Amino acid sequence: MAMRLYDLAGADPKLRFSPYCWRAKFALAHKGLAVETIPWRFTEKDVIAFSGSERVPVLLDGDKTIPDSWAIACYLEDAYPDRPSLFGGAAGRAPTRFLNSWADTVLNPGMIRFVLMDIFRVIDPKDRDYFRTSREQRFGTTLEAFVAEPEKHLPAFRQSLTPLRTTLAAQPFLAGERPAYADYIVLGSFQWPRCISAFALIEPDDPIFAWRERMLDAFDGMGRRAMAA
């Protein structure tokens, strides 16, 4: 039986924009494992309560339940060792975790300023009150005020990508000569604005831009073909 993955969806169930869910989907594709995704909305916490998590992705593999994107990557690596390694080999896992931490605490929090209102626009109407209340509490301001004047915040955001940019100026992929989970972490983040926003976060002459183009070609254009709204 194919695995199943609870995957954040918009009002249109085909619209899937969660950076953390994209990490899991690219990891499954890298391992060549089929998955059936189950559209999930922010307020359907009861649906995944059995997992112990209130957030997606949640992976189901037979009788196993694995929440959290990093835990999913490690699970897939350990449970399917004969498939291509997500870390290029055992030694890649620990330093990739640093990149994962950087994406969680620098890249995604920096990016959300540019996509927050778009998330609100595309989510299921039943999620809107929850989304507005929880995010306005988290950011201490209204959604509208938080996303105001994105151009003003763009230079600092682009500056925060410097470690990514200098790495990709030196090697074709974050994982080295071939893409692996290090790349899917960051590609997942870029799928977020890609699926729901028209705002251009990086410029065509940025080494990150060319890397993203290469990554969007992976797995028969899996990232590129994702529905956008």
* Contact residues for its own copies, defined by CB under 8 A: 85, 87-99, 101-102, 104-106, 162-164, 166-167, 170-171, 173-177, 182
Nearer to its own copies, 90 or 227 (CB): 90
CB 40 within 8 A of CB 8: yes
Nearer to its own copies, 46 or 78 (CB): 78
Torsion of CA 219, 223, 227, 228, to 10 degrees: -160
Beta strands in 62-177 (DSSP E): 64-67
Helices (H) and strands (E) in the chain, counts: 11, 4
Q: Could you tell me the two tokens for 149?
A: 């004047």
List of residues 6+ apart from 147 with CB closer than 8 A: 113, 114, 116, 117
CB 212 within 8 A of CB 173: no
Nearer to its own copies, 16 or 30 (CB): 30
Nearest-approach distance from CB 20 to its own copies, in angstroms: 15
Nearest-approach distance from CB 92 to its own copies, in angstroms: 4
Nearest-approach distance from CB 164 to its own copies, in angstroms: 7
Nearest-approach distance from CB 118 to its own copies, in angstroms: 25
Nearest-approach distance from CB 12 to its own copies, in angstroms: 34
Nearer to its own copies, 141 or 171 (CB): 171
Angle between helices 181-196 and 108-122 (to 10 degrees): 40
Nearer to its own copies, 126 or 138 (CB): 138
